[in-house]
Structure 1
Amino acid sequence: MKVTIITVVFNGAATIRDSIESVLNQTYPNIEYIVIDGRSTDNTADIVRSYGSRITRFVSEPDKGLYDAMNKGLRLATGDVVGFINSDDFYKHNQVVEKVVRLFETTDCDGVYGDEIYVNPVNTEKIDRYWKVGEYKEGAFLWGWMPPHLTCFIKRSVYEKLGGYTLELKSSSDYELLLRFIHKNKIKLSYLPEVTVAMRSGGVSNATLKHRWRANREDRQAWRINGLRPYFFTLLLKPLRKLDQLLPKF
């Protein structure tokens, strides 16, 4: 099974080495690694090029934002399974892809997801939040559930059938895509019950109240785009679930 991993970046020179090396150090051998750069103005491109042919494909050109860049990566992907890791984030250990592939092979699923931690942007050993997701149950999106986007590995055939990221949304296109794939079209999921991704705290989706308000409006739009109706409390529960992520996990 061939796995494509895509990193999208814009001016990520300070952190992208962590992302790249977390991919290149994976024990699973059959990985296609694509990096999509939005024509960075720092030395991101030089850092990426320094890895030479270990990065399968590198594109550096202007884009229309994060989700446009992700769609570019999807169009270039040739793997059976596709995963994303952004330039601020990294895989928690070097057996993530190996374990993900094992689940695909043993459960015949369409997608695999795991747990995620948010770490201090400077001291990445310091955990700010722990997103322990749990097994998916049908209808869970109605109760504010979603898997961490970057922990998701999904068969490329699903993207080909159901489409990529909508550019109608600025911060919730990943939520819309997972809502469409999992809740609406009921792809078969498998859960890897361990931390697979570390995300640096402070990204746009986790920032100010203004961003959270916009994200909530976009989450509502995601349901409308798909012709779906949430419960009246669905989109209130989604951010409230983050409170549990602040509690210690044992």
Structure 2
Amino acid sequence: MIKLSYLISTRNRLPYLKINLERLIAKVLPDEEIVVVDANSTDGSTLYLQELLKEGKIHQFISEPDKNQAHGWNKAMLMARGILFKKIIDDDVFDYNEIRKCADYMFENPDVDVVISSDLSSGILNYNNIDVNSSRLKHYKDWRAGKINCFSFSDVHMLVRKSILPYIGLYNTSFVMIDWEYSLRMSFLNVNISYYTGYNALNVGSPNNVSSTVSKKTLQNEAKIGQALYGYPGDNKSISFWSKIKIAIGKIIYAKPANTNTYHEINLTEIYNHFYERINKINSESDGQFITK
């Protein structure tokens, strides 16, 4: 029986895959699987992933065009065979020990549908700056207390029980900020969400990813839809707090960093080693606890 499915949806992100997927492969357990959906990459990713499948290092793989990022992630969710699934975004950083703490908690508490954790965020071009102050704990507590009927959070930190999918549905393919809408929908539908005060992931802003290139107008339009569907006003009535984080990350990664002339000069391996060291250190110095509704 597969207990946990790690899901990856990717397109033309080979440098990141080679760093982060190989770390996952080194950590995956016999009762876990790695599912990869590739959107017909043209940078060598497809051949790389096919070889990993042939070697048995990943467990399910398809490469075919998709309409948008929601379409790709929805394929991966439907392919998942695990009791739980966890998104692994190709350019973000994950602490698999913390992820398994969250998974074990869900196995011990079968009424829990979703676990999210506190947030860490940074950017490739400003990798020494890690934001530890973007927690959604206050909003989670307000939601839990019935003060608000929904709240937003990042799916970078989210584990989901697959059996809840018939109730919550898949990602909305008409949205760009798919995690924002999905989090509002989940909380609006009052699924049983637990909050882990540790950090199971570090959200990394990188050039040309969806989050860093989305326009403010798109975010504002989607915020209006969120207001209409779920009665969500946003943290300042016009655009959600989570959307503002996305814009801020985009500004950070396109800002000219100290001691870096061009993106091509970046040593991704060195930067990601730094990220993994930082998240491990942060978690070693914190005592993560679970808060449940």
Task: Sort the TM-score into its range (normalised by shorter chain).
Answer: 0.7 to 0.9
Per-residue CA distance 1:114-134 (angstroms, 9 max, x = gap): 12323332675x234333332
Q: Does 1:191 align with 2:200?
A: no
Q: Which amino acid aligns with 2:197?
A: P
Does the Cα contact within 8 Å between 2:180 and 2:242 map onto a contact in 1? Answer: no
The Cα RMSD (Å) is 3.0
The alignment covers a number of residue pairs equal to: 239
Q: Distance in 2 between matches of 1:122 and 1:17?
A: 19
Distance 2:19 2:203 in 1: 11
Indicate conservation of the 8 Å contact 1:9/1:36, yes or no. yes
Partner SS state of residue 119, structure 1 = strand
3-state secondary structure, aligned to 1:129: coil
Tell me if structure 2 keeps the 8 A contact 1:103–1:190: no
Distance 1:46 1:199 in 2: 27
TM-score, with normalisation over the residues of structure 2? 0.71
Q: Pick from 179, 182, 187: which aligns with 1:177?
A: 182
1:115–1:192 Cα contact (<8 Å) kept: yes
Identical aligned pairs, as a percentage?
18
1:29 CA displacement: 4.1
Output aligned runs, 1:148-163, within 5 Å.
148-163=154-169
What SS class does the counterpart of residue 186 from structure 2 fall into?
helix
Distance 1:28 1:190 in 2: 24
In structure 2, the CA distance between the partners of 1:241 and 1:181, relative to structure 1 (3 Å rule), is same
Amino acid at match of 1:172: M
Deviation, structure 1 residue 76: 0.8
Change (3 A) 1:146 1:26: farther
The correspondence for 1:147, drawn from 150, 153, 156, is 153
Distance in 2 separating the partners of 1:37 and 1:240: 26
Query: Does 1:95 find its partner at 2:97?
Result: yes
Does residue 213 in structure 1 map to residue 214 in structure 2? no
Between the aligned partners of 1:12 and 1:4, the Cα distance in structure 2 is 21
Preserved CA contact (<8 Å) 1:143 1:238: no
Change (3 A) 1:240 1:148: closer
Q: 1:205–1:212: 8 Å Cα contact kept in structure 2?
A: no
* Partners of 2:82 and 2:193 in 1: CA distance: 18
Q: What's 1:229 paired with?
A: 231
Q: Check the 8 A contact 1:172/1:215 in 2, yes or no.
A: yes
Residue of structure 2 equivalent to 1:48: 49
Partner AA of 1:32 in structure 2: E
Deviation of 1:22 after TM superposition, in Å, equals 3.5
82, 87, 90: which one aligns with 1:84: 87
Q: In structure 2, list runs of 5 or more residues that go unmatched.
A: 250-281, 287-293
- CA distance in 2 between partners of 1:53 and 1:161 (Å): 33
Q: Cα–Cα, structure 1 residues 143 and 18, in superposed 2: closer, same or farther, change >3 Å? A: farther
Q: Does 1:110 align with 2:116?
A: no
- Deviation string for 1:142-175 (max 9, x for gaps)? 5994222111011111112221011122x12221
- Using the TM superposition, name which of 187-196 and 137-146 deviates more: 137-146
- Structure having the larger proportion of residues in helix: 2
Match of 2:63 in 1: 60
C-alpha distance 196-70 of structure 1, shift in aligned 2 (>3 A): same
Normalised to the residue count of structure 1, the TM-score between the two structures is 0.82
Deviations 1:188-234 (A, max 9, x none): 111221221123214432446xx12211211221343x3x3234844
Deviation of 1:61 after TM superposition, in Å, equals 0.6
